[in-house]
Amino acid sequence: MKELRDWFQKNKREFPWREERTPYKVWVSEIMLQQTRASVVIPYFLRWLALFPDVRALAEASIETVIKAWEGLGYYSRARNLHAGAKEIVAKFQGEIPSSREDLESIRGLGPYTVGAILSFGFQQKAAAVDGNVTRVVARYFCIEEDVCKTDVKRKIQKRAEELLDLNEPWVSAEALIELGATLCTPKPRCEVCPLQKGCSAYQQNKAEALPIKKQEVKTLELIRSVAIIEVDGKILLRKGEAGKVMADLYEFPYFEMGKERWPQKKILETIQRELGLEVEFVEKLPEVKHTFTRYKAYLYPIRYQAKWLQDMKSYSWVPIEELARLPFSSGHRKILLFLEENKK
């Protein structure tokens, strides 16, 4: 695939994870790049390496520190898996990321794509790293008119992707496939400037835009929540997400599901009294916040309240206001925290 290689060498984008590559840098960058645009990842990647320069540093860090470093990237299970994976690597492989597929697949959080990326880019072995971009390129190049979400079709895509790799320096063509899918062979393809145009079966049959075929995506569900920012004696009430839940290890203000319509103030006050056992007084409303996570879109309606006294709360903690900035918050509640900080100024 000389055309692909030549195109890549001329057009590849510059990213910090492409400089002085190590298996650890490849691992971290590829996990961050899942579900997230490269431009967003850059500052997170650089900050992560400053905090956790190697596997041992990551393994020895507290989960709270790790989640805080990830704050804002979303899909926090990625950060938790990185942390757990680092601990496994220290325990099982003396802190060195293994170079065999079998060993890599035994590490928590490493799926087929990440394993392929580490083998290819980190250890320069012949391995295809098949993500959504590569799936799109391969499905079009070979005109695969089957549901690419099916297991047997995924295996076919993997095999076909490996066929496109060069014998010499296959890791270069492996990355070129990813780059092609990210920049030219996008959902709306730019076939007129694609280096693989001549050999692309979907292009020849005028089917490029119709591929790949995917099963219908899961419908997004809407949540309407009342968020209570309750203050007393310079402290604010928070709850930490439980292990195993979507928001595990992330802090949030108390909130209540309102159903399809916003509640009147009287009902919110009654709910705070009933659910939290607190007597509070209204202070002010804060701007609405939209918060998307997994398959949900949440509409948050935050209101500040003043509690009449400080009391112990089951499943909640009273946190001094000056300590809030160091805690990891879910993205929606972090936006609310920013409104609070602006108000204080």
Please report the DSSP string for 76-87 in residue order: THHHHHHHHHHH
Max Cα-Cα span within the chain:
74
Q: Tokens 């972090």 label which residue? A: 334
What's the CA dihedral at 197, 199, 200, 206 to 10 degrees?
A: 80
Closest listed residue to residue 210, CA positions, set 148, 152, 131, 129: 148
Q: How many CB atoms lie within 10 A of CB 56?
A: 16
Residue type, 73: L
**CA 109, 114, 119, 120: dihedral to nearest 10 degrees?**
-170
From 19, 30, 146, 179, active-site residue: 30
Q: How far apart are CA 87 and CA 186, in angstroms?
A: 37
Q: Is 320 left (phi over 0), alpha (psi -120 to 50) or beta?
A: beta
| Cα 71 to Cα 251: distance, rounded to the nearest angstrom | 11
Question: Does the active-site annotation cover 30?
Answer: yes
Tally of CB atoms within 10 A around 188: 7
| Spatial separation of the C-alpha atoms in residues 238 and 251, rounded to whole Å | 6
How many alpha carbons lie under 13 Å from residue 304 in its C-beta half-sphere? 16
User: Tokens 């006050």 correspond to what residue?
Assistant: 269
Q: CA-to-CA distance for 250 and 333, rounded, in angstroms?
A: 10
For residue 65, the surrounding DSSP H or E stretch is helix 63-70
Tokens (6 digits) for 193: 């400037």
Residue 172, token pair as written in the block: 């270069």
Mark out the alpha helices in 94-150 (DSSP H runs).
Answer: 101-105, 112-117, 132-141
Which residues does the annotation mark as catalytic? 30
